Amino acid sequence: MQEAREDTVLGDFDDAELAYGGATTKLSRRAERFVVATDGSGGKPADFDVRYVFGVVPLQQYLLPLPSGRLQALSVAWDVEKKRWYHLYPNENVDFRDELHWTKPSQNWNFMCAECHSTDVDKRYDAETDTYDTRWFRIDVGCQACHGPGAKHVEWAESQREPSSVDRKATDVGLLVDFAAGESRVEIEACARCHARRSVITPEYEHGERLMDTHLPALLDESLYHADGQILDEVYEYGSFLQSKMAQKGLRCSDCHDAHTGKPKAEGNALCVTCHNAGAPSARAEIDTSGLVKKRYDAPEHHFHESGKPGSNCIECHAPKKAYMGIDLRADHSFRIPRPDLTETIGSPNACNNCHGDKTPRWAADAIRRHASPGTEPAAHYGSALHAGRRGKTGAMRALAGVATNDALPSIVRATALRELFRYPGRSTLEAFAAGLGNADPLVRREAVTGLDALSPPERARAIAPLLDDPVLAVRIEAARVLAPVGEQALDEGRRAAFRLALAELEASYRANEDRVEGRVARGNLFAALGRTEDAEAAYRSALALDPTAVPAAVNLADLYRAQREEKQTETVLREALARSPANPALEHALSLSLVRQGRKEEALSLLASASKAAPERADILYTYAVALADHGKREEAIGALEKGLAPSRGDRDVLLALAAFYRDQGDVDAATGYIDVLRSINPEDPALGP
């Protein structure tokens, strides 16, 4: 990040123009100012001064000021190599109504960008006035961004009479953290603060402490990663690297990258063969190389391609790149073996067909088999279990439980499996969650706590209360969230103080994000769980004040009124929200339920038909629509809707149970039994199946 000056602005501001989505952005110079004329808030054209520039290569973005202390990242960026203006979302028609528009919260520098692009950022958001007064210690990333406060190091340096070649520990020279000592986790998590898809749970970052004391890393969610863990959305490096054998064996970021430039320590395959070779791996003593096969890797007998030609570079196959922000190529750091066989079975991409696009995955899989040792078959992969869980495939529950309890797999994979397991109730699922509570990794512990939310209040209190004292903040506050509806009185007296403390930490984490609708809605949910209805209402209302189109805020506020039996208030909130977001399926679904409770079933059915058509992947909407049809005596239509929605609903449990019930009521025992058998094949322990 730099101030916008003659020597820092790389883009063409010589009256350049870019047309996009019905609007034209003009970029010009006015004396010493760089000016952008474009559509602002509400779509109204206006002129904006460029305040700061972001990036040098391969692209440069520009930060424009909006009222209330906001800096926003313009979606029109400069391609440094091709010297052209381009839009970051070329295949979408992003206008002022879209959440991706440059004026929206998703492009806000104060929240989205500042922490990782400047040093020691203080967001300074005032919720009462909805204003920022963001400050930093240094405008860009300096030494103290990673190493922490450096005053003691400066004192040490100034005390030295002459340079010394004696190696010292970092802590001996006044540095707060010794990245070279101890386990690799310390360095990796320091990098992950910015090189991870994550959210902030407290701004009180402490250098050298656990990442999850201040941040919550994303798991391998379907919207972010392919089922086998390959990168899909913009997830940076951390979640990928955690999946790698390198991470499991003790490598850290600086083993391959220069810590201060970020560049690889050697060019091309020369970096990889320092360890992957036929002789002795050149690795730190702390790295476990016992399972590393010694052979020639940088050779055609390994990579199947002519040396020096495409396909012979290690990263092409083991760390394929994907473009983000249009032109920024980033490598997948999971360093996986290409698996075209998985492309055939679960649809994940593979490096072979990235280059050989004219060939099939079967062709690529056969090519690998021909070069493999005789009798070698592809190993089982956790991607198959995650895919089965997400699609409701045969054996989904047991496959997920097997991954979740497999100590040999990376923790991020096991935590993701636990999250997917929540859809599949049963003994094995509960056992997997219970086992996860004692896992050494906080990623797994936290997800296990979340999964046990389905327990009865007394069981929940017994199982989760010990985690209120967890040493990692992200785990403690999740335990408090899950126990909030249970209440303090259900806990042993010795746990109540810990509950109150964790609850305070949880609310503070929501306040740290109250410049976002999500933070305010989360506070409302917490207050609702605690029975503090007035506080919950105020939180939801404040979220709607921040963004009147925030659907979760409207739906949760309406549900709060429903719980108080104020059905007219519920309807009013939802109709007002629909006026702001017409035909939104989530709002239509919520309003239909209110209308049913009011006995206005015809109106409800019409809304459900619209919602189901707009969101065929929403199994909850489909289920409600089918029940409404059956209630109107249209059981055949209900069955037809459910069967049509089976594929997009991904083997949803409620959909399958509804089909079995409707066929049973029609006297078609065979059809009903068929759907029960499908459910049993997915999850034989489902309590709905009976003994």
Beta pairing class for 2-3 and 52-54: antiparallel
- Determine the angle formed by the axes of helices 653-665 and 669-682, rounding to 10 degrees: 160
User: In angstroms, how far is the first alpha carbon of the chain from the final one?
Assistant: 63
Domain boundary among 565, 598, 615: 615
Return the SS3 of 648.
helix
CA distance 585 to 578: 10
CA distance 92 to 100: 10
Asked whether the bond before 58 is cis by omega within 30 degrees of 0, the reply is yes
In a domain, 219, yes or no: yes
CB atoms within 10 A of CB 660: 21
Residue 374 has what DSSP assignment?
T
Q: How much is the average pLDDT of 234-241?
A: 98
CA distance 296 to 650: 45
Asked whether residue 182 carries a pLDDT value surpassing 90, the answer given is no
Q: Write the pLDDT tens digit of every residue in 614-628.
A: 999 999 999 999 999
In a domain, 118, yes or no: yes
Q: Write the pLDDT tens digit of every residue in 308-325.
A: 999 999 999 999 999 999
CA distance 221 to 237: 15
Asked whether residue 522 carries a pLDDT value surpassing 80, the answer given is yes
Which pair of tokens denotes residue 669? 């025992």
Which pair of tokens denotes residue 395? 């054996």
In a domain, 652, yes or no: yes
In a domain, 79, yes or no: yes
Whether 70 and 118 share a structural domain = yes
CB atoms within 10 A of CB 570: 26
Q: What integer pLDDT is reported at residue 165 of this predicted model? A: 73
Q: How much is the average pLDDT of 594-608?
A: 97
Q: How confident is the model at residue 345 (pLDDT cuts 50, 70, 90)?
A: very high
- Which range among 180-184, 403-407, 447-451 shows the weakest confidence by mean pLDDT? 180-184
Q: Give Cβ neighbours of residue 309 (< 8 Å, ≥ 6 apart).
A: none
Asked whether residue 555 carries a pLDDT value surpassing 80, the answer given is yes
- Which range among 132-141, 302-311, 369-378, 528-537 shows the weakest confidence by mean pLDDT? 369-378
**Number of domain units in the chain:** 4
- Which range among 153-157, 505-509, 578-582, 646-650 shows the weakest confidence by mean pLDDT? 646-650
In a domain, 168, yes or no: no
In a domain, 477, yes or no: no
Residue 502 has what DSSP assignment?
H
Q: How confident is the model at residue 646 (pLDDT cuts 50, 70, 90)?
A: confident
Are 148 and 207 contacting, i.e. CB atoms less than 8 angstroms apart?
Answer: yes
Q: What integer pLDDT is reported at residue 333 of this predicted model? A: 98
Are 134 and 122 contacting, i.e. CB atoms less than 8 angstroms apart?
Answer: yes
Whether 112 and 229 share a structural domain = no
Domain boundary among 102, 120, 143: 143
Q: How much is the average pLDDT of 284-306?
A: 93
Q: What integer pLDDT is reported at residue 372 of this predicted model? A: 86
Whether 609 and 622 share a structural domain = no
CA 57 to chain CA mean position, Å: 26
CA distance 247 to 240: 10
Q: Write the pLDDT tens digit of every residue in 349-359.
A: 999 999 999 99
Which pair of tokens denotes residue 247? 């991470």
- In the chain, % of residues over pLDDT 90: 95
Mean pLDDT of the chain: 96
Asked whether residue 470 carries a pLDDT value surpassing 80, the answer given is yes
Asked whether residue 164 carries a pLDDT value surpassing 80, the answer given is no
- In the chain, % of residues over pLDDT 70: 100
- Residues recorded for the chain: 691
In a domain, 507, yes or no: no
Beta pairing class for 45-49 and 33-39: antiparallel
Whether 51 and 137 share a structural domain = yes
Whether 571 and 584 share a structural domain = yes
- Determine the angle formed by the axes of helices 517-529 and 493-511, rounding to 10 degrees: 160
CA distance 621 to 614: 10
Whether 554 and 585 share a structural domain = yes
Q: What is the 3-state secondary structure (H, E, C) of 485-545?
A: CCCHHHCCHHHHHHHHHHHHHHHHHHHCCCCCHHHHHHHHHHHHHCCCHHHHHHHHHHHHH
Q: How much is the average pLDDT of 134-155?
A: 96
CATH of the domain at 556: 1.25.40.10
CA distance 450 to 475: 9
Q: How much is the average pLDDT of 642-652?
A: 86
Q: Write the pLDDT tens digit of every residue in 30-87.
A: 999 999 999 999 999 999 999 999 999 999 999 999 999 999 999 999 999 999 999 9
Q: How confident is the model at residue 163 (pLDDT cuts 50, 70, 90)?
A: confident
Query: What range does the domain containing 546 cover?
Result: 532-615
CB atoms within 10 A of CB 460: 20
- Which range among 168-182, 309-323, 436-450 shows the weakest confidence by mean pLDDT? 168-182
Q: Give Cβ neighbours of residue 368 (< 8 Å, ≥ 6 apart).
A: 338, 340, 352
Whether 57 and 43 share a structural domain = yes
The residue type of 322 is: K
CA distance 87 to 20: 8
Whether 201 and 342 share a structural domain = yes
Whether 46 and 106 share a structural domain = yes
CB atoms within 10 A of CB 398: 19
- Determine the angle formed by the axes of helices 396-404 and 427-436, rounding to 10 degrees: 20
The residue type of 293 is: V
Q: What integer pLDDT is reported at residue 166 of this predicted model? A: 77
Q: What integer pLDDT is reported at residue 300 of this predicted model? A: 94
Beta bridge partners of 324: 328
**Kind and range of the H or E run holding 18:** strand 16-20
Whether 124 and 224 share a structural domain = no
Q: How much is the average pLDDT of 163-191?
A: 89
Residue carrying structure tokens 């049509």: 644
Whether 121 and 218 share a structural domain = no
Asked whether residue 527 carries a pLDDT value surpassing 80, the answer given is yes
Asked whether residue 377 carries a pLDDT value surpassing 90, the answer given is no
Domain boundary among 590, 615, 640: 615
Q: Write the pLDDT tens digit of every residue in 92-106.
A: 999 999 999 999 999
Q: How much is the average pLDDT of 418-422?
A: 98
In a domain, 161, yes or no: no
Whether 650 and 604 share a structural domain = no
Residue carrying structure tokens 């052209």: 84
Residue carrying structure tokens 């004040």: 545
CA distance 634 to 622: 15
